[in-house]
Structure 1
């Protein structure tokens, strides 16, 4: 949702930054790795021990690296398959570090219910991305969803930052809202995949494996063979 609304506006800011980064000799893959390392270190060193506002500032700064590497690839005029896989893998690591750190903070500070919300956010975020990746791998194209990575990062970091400033229940509200949105998005993604599959079958019925599958030969079980053998003997 945020991705589709903000992509054009964000590109106007990040594209000049991407061109400048290329001029100083950086490449998109290096920026991807540096951003991920920064997120992981900031989450584990600051968010997990409870330095929520400072951790939010550091993690947010490195999360923005994910915008710069894409701008660099556009400025360069091409991306690579390795870069796509690296970027997706680093995104999962960064997301795991963020919500894992928030879960650790919640559990170690005695907020077990909040820790459960953080774990739900962590798991649903990974599943949402996995369903999209698996659908793409089998040629089923699906569109946007309710809670994609931008929404997850914004809600998680806004909640942590406000909690670090002393706003009561800010992190609770944001994480539980995100947990509910994440669960809804998992269902939404699976429904999108089912819709894409149904559309493929409707367009090309011959591609349905249920119509072209050859059933295995029927083999009588041993009990059936014994019964027929007994019947033959009794007939004699």
Structure 2
């Protein structure tokens, strides 16, 4: 995990976005739904698998990540933070992860690899919340946090728009991203489990 530690830096850049959202009357939940809609748009673009659509998808996935910061900052600004809003945010984040990875998967027609990638990402998140459920506290440790995954998705979208030929073992840059998510996701899930088990 690398980028999640800079969340406080990003929070300081959110001011104009938060004020704009508040001015037009958006609620944090509405921003969360908007962020999810942008993720679905990214998924659709990646599924096309063409250069210009990879660029559109990259912009959408990065916007999704930014809006995912805005909703929390807006809730704090309006002093309306709630368990319901937190739940909605986490659920939509997971669906956004599924949608974007599915989009990449369809774009390169590598369904087994996509399945491994999405289960790795979901197990990473599941272990974090399950550890919290048994009373140890929310676990964010691991090699790739959500911010890192979104950044990589955006970068890969840009690279795929320019170069989509196979690189290693018949996989192009998108395939390599899915392989990375599969390997690191399951490794992180195991890492979190073992860390929590030792704390019990």
Shorter-chain TM-score: what band?
0.7 to 0.9
Runs of 4+ in 1 over 4 A off after TM superposition: none
| Offset, 1:128 | 1.0
Counterpart position of 2:174: 171
- Separation (CA, whole Å) in 1 of partners of 2:161 and 2:4: 30
Query: CA–CA distance in 1 between the matches of 2:191 and 2:14?
Result: 30
The reply on whether 1:120 has 2:116 as its aligned counterpart is yes
Task: Specify every segment of 5 or more residues in structure 1 that has no aligned partner in the other structure, as ranges.
Answer: 198-236
CA distance in 2, matches of 1:47, 1:119: 16
Aligned position for 1:211: none
Flag structure 2 segments of 5+ consecutive residues without an equivalent: 166-171
Which residue number corresponds to residue 168 of structure 2? none
Aligned twin of 1:205: none
Deviates further, 88-97 or 166-175: 166-175
The structure with more radius of gyration: 1
Offset, 1:78: 4.1
What is the Cα deviation at residue 90 of structure 1? 0.2
CA shift for structure 1 position 103: 0.9
Match of 2:153 in 1: 156
Contact 2:4–2:145, Cα closer than 8 Å, also in 1: no
Deviation at 1:77, TM superposition (A): 2.8
Deviations 1:143-163 (A, max 9, x none): 422122112222233222211
Corresponding residue of 2:183: 180
Separation in structure 2 between the aligned mates of residue 24 and residue 66 of structure 1, nearest angstrom: 18
Give the CA deviation at 1:61: 1.9
Larger RCO (CA within 8 A; separation ≥ 6) = 2
Q: Output the aligned Cα RMSD.
A: 1.9
> C-alpha offsets along residues 59-117 of structure 1, whole Å, 9 cap, x if unaligned?
3223321011011012123410100100000001100000011111111xxxx4xx433
Structure 2 distance, partners of 1:138, 1:175, is 31
Question: Are 1:49 and 2:48 counterparts?
Answer: yes
TM-score where L is the length of structure 2: 0.85
TM-score, normalization by structure 1: 0.73
1-structure distance, mates of 2:5, 2:131: 23
2:121 aligned counterpart, secondary structure: helix
